[in-house]
Amino acid sequence: MTKELMTCARCPFERAERYCQNEDGQTPSFCPTQNRPEILQKALEKLDDPKTREFAIQAAIQEKEGYQLDNGVPVPVKPRLLEIIEFAGKMKYQRLGLAFCSGLFEEGKAIGKILTDKGFTVISAACKAGKVAKEELGLRSDQKVRPDNFEPMCNPIFQAMILNDGKSEFNIVLGLCVGHDSLLFKHAEAPCTVLAAKDRLLGHNPLAAVYNLDSYYGYLKK
Ligand code: SF4
């Protein structure tokens, strides 16, 4: 018999009625909270490692400090960039890595300066660093953005290695392409957080397509 796949994304219950958020909540048959206690136990055992526990504690405190209560209602009060700076401070990190897209060079510069002004040492690498032609990947000219021109490949493994070489303690990822970001996450030694996910069309706000699924982006559902 095949195991039923766990899929929170199909949970039919409103927040207040969900099992994972309410002691008397309800569960669908594909609920991981109810059906995978052995995996939950293993996940909790990961927190026995003091470094992992400290990271999780500070992340939870940062989450709490992202709100102020207004008559008991949590109101968001901080942009993500400030949360990253505060979290890095809580963790006592001094060396931060910044892996950014060359298409966001001005933003990368601005963020690098903000972090440096806050007292961090910043190691940064743009995605085109390394200056390796896309032909090295075996790409044909027509598979380049601008065929018949020199086009350096995005080089996220090199970016990760530069940050590793600079002994970064925490990496900030800015606007890397789909897949290139995955390679960076895989090869970076320090934990990574994403400041912004690239969306060329939507001003790096990929959720705009999701918020408009019933109108302009309905074709994504077809
Ligand atoms: S853990 Fe269970 S109750 Fe919570 S969202 Fe997932 S399926 Fe729903």
CA of 22 to the centre of ligand 1 (A): 10
Domain ranges of the chain: 29-77, 80-222
Ligand 1: centre distance to CA 21 (Å): 8
Distance 16 CA to ligand 1 centre (A): 11
The percentage of the chain sitting over the pLDDT mark of 70, rounded to a whole number, equals: 100
Query: Which is the closest atom of ligand 1 to the Cα of 7?
Result: 7
Residue 2 has pLDDT above 90, yes or no: no
CA-closest candidate to residue 18, choices 5, 3, 33:
33
Identify the CATH class of 80-222.
alpha beta
Model confidence pLDDT, tens digit, residues 172-210? 999 999 999 999 999 999 999 999 999 999 999 999 999
For residues 117, 119, 123 and 127, what is the CA-based torsion angle, rounded to 10 degrees?
Answer: -40
User: Is 210 close to ligand 1, i.e. is its CB under 6 Å away?
Assistant: no
Q: What is the pLDDT of residues 71-119, one digit of tens each?
A: 999 999 999 999 999 999 999 999 999 999 999 999 999 999 999 999 9
Looking at the CA of residue 18, tell me the nearest atom of ligand 1: 3
Ligand 1 centroid, distance to 174 Cα (angstroms): 31
Q: pLDDT per residue over 25-39, tens digit each?
A: 999 999 999 999 999
Lookup result for tokens 């086009």: 151
First to last CA, the chain: 32
State which amino acid sits at residue 137. Answer: L
Is the CB of 6 inside a 6 Å radius of any atom of ligand 1?
no
Q: Does residue 22 have a pLDDT over 80?
A: yes
